[in-house]
Amino acid sequence: MPPRRIKVLIADDMVELCSNIRRMLGSQDSIQVIGEARDGEEALKMARELSPHIVLMDINMPKLDGLKVTEALGKELPNIQVIIMSIQSEQEYFRRAMKAGAKDFLTKPFSSSDLVDAIQNTFTKWIKDRPELQQEEARADILAFFATKGGVGRTTLATNLAISLARRGKRTLLIDASLQFGDVAITLNQKASRNLYNIVEKEEDITAGKIDANLTHHPSGLDLLLAPIEPAFADAIKPHHIKTVLDTLAPIYQFIIVDTAPHLGAIELQILDQTDLVLLVGTLEISSLKNTKLCLKTLNDIKFDMAKVKLVINKDIPNVGIGRKDIEEGLAIPIFSVVPMDAETAQMALNHGEPFVVKFPNTPLAKALDLMTTLIVGEEPAAADPVPSGPLWKLRKMIFGS
């Protein structure tokens, strides 16, 4: 199997042509346009940064012409394949392009089928003798924290899990998709001046470079894509924007965590559809459990893959009249993770703008998130310490307490 998508960089100073190429390739699931360069120097710079499989290169580029860029790529980045585009169809232009190292030549204007065939044929010839590259391209595991009502601790769990993954050396991105009133920025004490709205506000094509320019980098190593700074900007973000962002970033990260709004609309359904795991958060409050049950029924009614849904019980308190067995039987779904109630620790960490997995790592709260992280990365949980017993332990407990 070849990589899931052939990554293509367009290098042409004609904006209209670039838009036409994007339109031609828009319906091709196997091809992804990852950026556009307007001159030869920018094409060289973006090729180094984005590592495309194919560069569609105009032969006459400002600053540095397409043939010189092709020669430079051949020496520096030989795994990048170049297809030259030119309005000139003479044999001499074709010969010069091949001599520079191009793998194919397209005469403008060209049809969608000619373009797709050139890309696919060039890529297939290149990868044929490279078995190590014929595996499916690694993509991020996308996890969405979802809840049916506010106040259940969804954002707190999302931020702490994301930080926990980043601290384990996993390339992790946290997206705040609670678009009107997202709290990820304030929870992690970050400015939201760069956010999702900045990516879509000019109604231009979404590129990897544009997304990267609007990421916030947390000191933990976690990357953040924050919600708009004002609720009025939320309407500008559409489901297809979310899809493009996730599709573009999935090959770059190991984990993408999405904090959603407590609402089941078009944006949320788009997110859930692209996730590998939906962490459905509820608490022991009867209203939360009722809404959680209704959410599970709704997802089942729309034929959602229920195997992706994992139930997380947050703010767990013993002896409130509802046990684990009651929840699992009532909701007809097993509990994936239980996070204990520790309002003081959670609130203190929030007020300091520092996750409790960092500020209070030895608390039951942090240990519960550490266990959840272990389960998600597929590691074996550490064995629990044996419970002390015997007469000396009982005497110690009577004197000093538990």
Q: Are residues 268 and 149 in the same domain?
A: yes
Is 386 within a domain?
A: no
| Distance separating alpha carbons of residues 353 and 347, to the nearest angstrom | 10
Identify the band that residue 385 occupies on the pLDDT scale cut at 50, 70 and 90. very low
228 close to 181: Cβ distance less than 8 angstroms: no
Q: Are residues 80 and 163 in the same domain?
A: no
Is 402 within a domain?
A: no
What's residue 387's pLDDT? Answer: 42
Query: Scanning the structure block, which residue is given the tokens 């001046």?
Result: 193
What's residue 317's pLDDT? Answer: 83
What's residue 135's pLDDT? Answer: 55
Question: In DSSP terms, which residues pair with 260 in a beta bridge?
Answer: 177
Q: Are residues 66 and 163 in the same domain?
A: no
Give the pLDDT confidence of 189-240 residue by residue, as tens digits.
999 889 999 999 887 778 777 888 899 999 888 999 999 999 999 999 999 9
Dihedral sign from CA coordinates of 332, 338, 341, 343: negative
**Higher-pLDDT residue of 379, 52:** 52
84 close to 109: Cβ distance less than 8 angstroms: no
| Distance separating alpha carbons of residues 8 and 286, to the nearest angstrom | 51
Is 110 within a domain?
A: yes
| Distance separating alpha carbons of residues 329 and 341, to the nearest angstrom | 22
Note if the pTM is more than 0.85.
no
Strand ranges inside 70-178, DSSP E = 81-86, 104-107, 141-146, 172-177
What's residue 316's pLDDT? Answer: 87
Is 290 within a domain?
A: yes
- CATH number for the domain spanning 284: value is 3.40.50.300
SS3 assignment, position 303? coil
Is 389 within a domain?
A: no
Backbone phi, then psi, for 365, in 5-degree steps?
Answer: -60, -50
Where is the domain boundary, 133, 150, 172? Answer: 133
What's residue 10's pLDDT? Answer: 94
How many beta carbons lie within 10 A of that of residue 323, not counting itself? 12
Amino acid symbol at 324: R
What's residue 178's pLDDT? Answer: 95
388 prior amide bond cis, ω within 30: no
Is 96 within a domain?
A: yes
Q: Are residues 291 and 322 in the same domain?
A: yes
Where is the domain boundary, 91, 107, 133? Answer: 133
| Distance separating alpha carbons of residues 236 and 202, to the nearest angstrom | 10
Residue range(s) defining the domain that contains residue 45: 6-133
Q: Are residues 127 and 166 in the same domain?
A: no
Question: In DSSP terms, which residues pair with 37 in a beta bridge?
Answer: 11
Give the pLDDT confidence of 55-67 residue by residue, as tens digits.
999 998 889 999 9
Q: Are residues 146 and 78 in the same domain?
A: no
Q: Are residues 220 and 321 in the same domain?
A: yes
What's residue 51's pLDDT? Answer: 85
User: From residue 122, how far is each of 117, 126, 135, 184, 211 by CA, in Å?
Assistant: 8, 6, 18, 43, 28
Identify the band that residue 383 occupies on the pLDDT scale cut at 50, 70 and 90. low
Give the pLDDT confidence of 246-258 residue by residue, as tens digits.
988 888 889 999 9
What's residue 132's pLDDT? Answer: 57
Is 383 within a domain?
A: no
User: From residue 231, how far is each of 182, 188, 197, 396 by CA, in Å?
Assistant: 9, 19, 11, 57
| Distance separating alpha carbons of residues 3 and 248, to the nearest angstrom | 14
Domain count, the chain: 2
Q: Are residues 195 and 242 in the same domain?
A: yes
Identify the band that residue 345 occupies on the pLDDT scale cut at 50, 70 and 90. confident
What's residue 15's pLDDT? Answer: 87
Q: Are residues 213 and 355 in the same domain?
A: yes
Where is the domain boundary, 102, 133, 164? Answer: 133
Q: Are residues 216 and 120 in the same domain?
A: no
Is 34 within a domain?
A: yes
- CATH number for the domain spanning 84: value is 3.40.50.2300
Give the pLDDT confidence of 75-104 residue by residue, as tens digits.
999 989 999 999 988 888 899 999 999 999
Q: Where are the alpha helices (DSSP H) in 265-323?
A: 266-274, 286-301
Sheet order of strands, 277-282 included: 216-217, 223-225, 172-177, 255-260, 141-146, 277-282, 309-316, 335-340
Question: Minimal CA–CA distance to 126: which of 244, 242, 7?
Answer: 7
Give the pLDDT confidence of 298-327 residue by residue, as tens digits.
999 999 999 999 999 998 887 766 777 888
Q: Are residues 247 and 368 in the same domain?
A: yes
Give the pLDDT confidence of 35-57 residue by residue, as tens digits.
889 999 999 999 988 889 999 99
Nearest 5 degrees, angle CA 152-CA 153-CA 155?
130
Exposed/middle/buried for residue 87 (C-beta within 10 Å: 0-12, 13-18, 19+):
exposed
What's residue 28's pLDDT? Answer: 79
Q: Is the pLDDT of residue 286 over 70?
A: yes
What's residue 295's pLDDT? Answer: 94
Q: Are residues 162 and 120 in the same domain?
A: no
Candidate from 16-20, 270-274, 335-339, 390-394 with smallest mean pLDDT: 390-394
**Which strand (E) or helix (H) includes residue 336?**
strand 335-340
Euclidean distance between the first and the last CA atom of the chain, given in angstroms as a whole number: 58
